[in-house]
């Protein structure tokens, strides 16, 4: 990593005032050990065949709801993994969706299902044997629903927050938390500072495409990325994965904590991972038309993912060697290190995975290209 890169990462850390949070000594931090106790996903069962798991949510009674982007389905499973019924169907009418994704369960049990293609959220009351459509929130304004971000958070009875992104021009993305009322009317926006381009292993080219100009984004495998997570209470966390330095803000945008750790040696890549990284670097060097020099990461970045659970606790998933247990630092709502969670190495907590107070729900694909959902319980 170049000296300039370190300087830019340090600059990101100094954008907002530091709020010190007292942390426990590592030796006194409790360890939560997670083990799989449920696996869904079968090739010969239409209800357990998943094409692209784009969202998951856990209802208050423990049932699992799974959104499948490609199959245009939202399915409900019992706590023991039995298929129960579908919610809605493909379409544009009330309670229907084009591409269901990110979901959230509100305090009163209402299920929100995002539909980016329709720029809206569908609201359902999920009963014992069916789901009833009870409304729609159409997102309006310049910001758009990010299909890879968590769904809406409710700040008050008629006030919601949505993590969104929009095109700022010149191949730049802007992110914000958009506050809206229950009709989707924008109220206020909380802008999220974007990290310097050189702090990320993403290289952007301005390209001439058929029909006009556009942007091409070239990613280096296991490189540094911009991470965002939205909490159920509307707060959010942001970080550059190449540095353990997380900025945690409340729903109004005020800094509530800065979580930092001293740099550690990067987790090494396996030979297969190094080969994949080399291939992506070759692809980037062949395709990238910008002024930056392509940097080869030394190993895995310190942070793999950021997630919030339903208690508004922040899970900072750390990068670990391929054969080691997965590890997450769990911080309570005050920013204090509460525990260190571990679970099997083959189950990465990324993408549409869901974190609950005592369990994880993780979507993976095996070597036979079969999609699975695994529940991990912590004891």
**Which of left, alpha, beta for 95 (phi over 0: left; psi -120 to 50: alpha)?**
left
Alpha-carbon gap, residue 268 to 224, rounded angstroms: 15
Residue 338's pLDDT is 96
Q: Classify residue 300 as exposed, middle or buried by CB count within 10 Å of its CB (0-12, 13-18, 19+).
A: buried
Residue 219's pLDDT is 87
pTM of the model: 0.89
Tokens 């379409």 belong to residue: 91
16, 258 contact by CB (below 8 A): yes
161, 177 contact by CB (below 8 A): yes
Coil, strand, or helix at residue 103? strand
Distance set, CA 213 to CA 52, 143, 165 (Å):
30, 22, 20
Provide the CA 304 distance to its chain's centre, in angstroms: 10
225: how many CB neighbours lie within 10 A of its CB? 20
The residues near 272 (Cβ < 8 Å, ≥ 6 apart) are none
Tens of pLDDT along the chain (379 residues) come to 444 444 444 433 333 344 545 466 666 899 999 999 999 999 889 999 999 999 999 999 999 999 999 999 999 999 999 999 999 999 999 999 999 998 999 989 999 999 988 888 999 999 999 999 999 998 875 455 555 555 678 888 889 988 887 766 677 778 888 898 888 888 888 989 889 888 999 998 877 777 677 788 888 999 999 999 999 999 999 999 999 999 999 999 999 999 999 988 899 999 999 999 999 999 999 888 788 888 889 899 999 999 999 999 999 999 999 889 999 999 998 899 999 999 999 999 988 899 999 999 999 999 889 999 999 999 8
Residue 147's pLDDT is 53
The residues near 278 (Cβ < 8 Å, ≥ 6 apart) are none
Alpha-carbon gap, residue 97 to 120, rounded angstroms: 9
| Token code pair at residue 84 | 């129960």
Residue 12's pLDDT is 39
Cα angle for residues 200, 203, 205 (degrees, 5° grid): 150
Alpha-carbon gap, residue 142 to 209, rounded angstroms: 25
Domain count, the chain: 1
Output the domain CATH number for residue 129.
2.120.10.30
Question: What's the domain range around 218?
Answer: 3-378
| Token code pair at residue 376 | 């991990």
Q: With the CA atoms of 146, 150, 151 and 154 taken in that order, what torsion angle do they form, in degrees rounded to the nearest 10?
A: -130
Sign of the dihedral through C-alpha 338, 349, 220, 165: negative
**Which of left, alpha, beta for 117 (phi over 0: left; psi -120 to 50: alpha)?**
alpha
267, 242 contact by CB (below 8 A): no
């Amino acid at each position: 990593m170049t000296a300039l890169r370190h300087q830019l990462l340090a600059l990101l850390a100094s954008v907002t005032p530091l709020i010190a949070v007292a942390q426990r000594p590592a030796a006194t931090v409790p360890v939560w050990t997670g083990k799989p106790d449920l696996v869904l996903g079968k090739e010969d069962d239409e209800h357990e065949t998943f094409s692209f798991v784009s969202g998951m949510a856990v209802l208050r009674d423990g049932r699992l709801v799974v959104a499948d982007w490609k199959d245009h389905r939202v399915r409900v499973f019992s706590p023991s993994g039995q298929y129960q019924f579908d919610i809605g169907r493909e379409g544009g009418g009330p309670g229907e969706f084009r591409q269901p994704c990110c979901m959230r369960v509100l305090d009163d049990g209402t299920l929100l299902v995002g539909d980016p293609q329709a720029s809206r959220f569908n609201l359902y009351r999920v009963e014992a044997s069916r789901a009833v459509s009870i409304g729609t929130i159409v997102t309006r304004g310049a910001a758009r629903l990010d299909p890879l971000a968590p769904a809406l958070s409710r700040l008050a009875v008629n006030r919601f927050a949505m993590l969104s992104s929009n095109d700022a021009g010149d191949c730049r993305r802007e992110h914000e938390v958009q506050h809206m009322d229950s009709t989707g009317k924008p109220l206020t926006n909380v802008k999220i500072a974007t990290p310097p381009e050189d702090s990320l292993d993403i290289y952007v080219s301005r390209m001439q495409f058929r029909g006009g100009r556009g942007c091409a984004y070239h990613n280096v495998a296991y490189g540094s990325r911009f991470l965002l997570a939205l909490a159920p209470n509307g707060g959010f966390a942001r970080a550059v994965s190449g540095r353990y330095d997380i900025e945690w803000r409340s729903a109004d945008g005020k800094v509530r904590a800065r979580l930092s750790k001293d740099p550690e040696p990067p987790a090494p890549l396996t030979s297969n991972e190094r080969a994949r990284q080399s291939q992506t670097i070759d692809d980037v060097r062949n395709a990238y038309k910008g002024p930056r020099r392509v940097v080869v990461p030394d190993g895995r970045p310190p942070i793999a993912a950021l997630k919030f659970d339903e208690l508004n606790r922040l899970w900072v998933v750390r990068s670990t060697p391929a054969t080691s247990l997965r590890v997450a630092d769990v911080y309570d709502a005050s920013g204090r290190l509460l525990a260190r969670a571990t679970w099997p190495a083959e189950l990465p907590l990324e993408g549409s995975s869901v974190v609950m107070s005592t369990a994880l729900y993780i979507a993976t694909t095996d070597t036979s290209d079969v999609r699975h959902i695994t529940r991990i319980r912590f004891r």
